[in-house]
Structure 1
Amino acid sequence: MTLERKRIGRQGEEAAAAFLQEKGFRLRERNFRCGLGELDIVAEEGGEIVFVEVRTRSSNLLGTPQESVDWRKQHRLRRLAAYYLQQKGLAGLPCRFDVVAVWLDKRGGVERIELVRGAF
């Protein structure tokens, strides 16, 4: 991954975290890593554990941010979430998967943020 893509990803995750907190989510963890991969944000809302995948784009040439969470990524996130719940002693709690789509403008500022609850 190029440095520019990493920078854009970090910028999107920062914006998404602030956006979720404004919406009343309680952030549990950011960038949880293990051998299976990484969870961008783990939060709580309304008694549910919410696994949030953040996708950032500066254009829609390759599709919308949320469209980039294909079935392979969904499968990987489900495995990661199961591992997280087991490791943290949270197995059995209700959970869901959300996607936060972040669009950047031409100057690199956040243009728009969209939350897709229960994305998959």
Structure 2
Amino acid sequence: MRKDLGRIGEDIAERYLLNKNFVILERNFRSKRWGEIDIIARDGETIVFVEVKTRSSNRYGNPYEAVTKYKLKALRNSANYYLFTHNLKCLARIDVISINFNFGKYGINHFTNVDF
């Protein structure tokens, strides 16, 4: 169920970003050492590394609260690895998309430039 909810959240986040005129470059990019980046997109000339957090209730807090300092460090390392391996020298940022999903309805919070 968690993987399904996560995948649903990533699909919702992708549609949201496309509606905001982002260009999706990759989904579920993996670096062996630092983990996965849910969505890599372009916003104008900026590469955006997006962490998507989805929850079906607020029992354990809001989804974005699950993005810890450790997770941000791993995202930063994965983002730098992506930029290096793709020979990209451009502006970059990390965004978090937080989705509360319940009974087929959802709310989205988009936090830009969380940390880089």
Same fold by TM-score, threshold 0.5 exceeded? Answer: yes
**Distance apart, 1:46 and its partner CA:** 2.3
Corresponding residue number in structure 2 for 1:33: 30
Per the alignment, in what secondary structure is the counterpart of residue 59 of structure 2?
Answer: coil
8 Å contact 1:56–1:65 — kept in the other structure?
A: yes
Per the alignment, in what secondary structure is the counterpart of residue 62 of structure 2?
Answer: coil
8 Å contact 1:102–1:110 — kept in the other structure?
A: no
| Separation in 1, partners of 2:62, 2:113 | 17
Letter paired with 1:111: Y
What is the RMSD computed on CA atoms of the aligned residues? 0.9
**Distance apart, 1:34 and its partner CA:** 2.3
Residues 58-105 of structure 1, C-alpha deviations (whole Å, 9 max, x = no match):
111211111110100000000100100011111x31100000111111
Q: How many residues align?
A: 114
Matched, 1:19 2:16: yes
**Distance apart, 1:114 and its partner CA:** 1.5
Which consecutive aligned stretches of 4+ in structure 1 deviate over 2 angstroms post-superposition? none
Letter paired with 1:56: T
Q: Percentage identity across aligned positions?
A: 43
| Separation in 1, partners of 2:45, 2:28 | 21
| Separation in 1, partners of 2:114, 2:105 | 22
**Distance apart, 1:110 and its partner CA:** 3.6
Using the size of structure 1 for normalisation, the TM-score is: 0.91
Using the size of structure 2 for normalisation, the TM-score is: 0.94
Matched, 1:10 2:3: no
Stretches of structure 1 lacking an aligned partner (at least 5 in a row):
none
Corresponding residue number in structure 2 for 1:69: 67
8 Å contact 2:23–2:42 — kept in the other structure?
A: yes
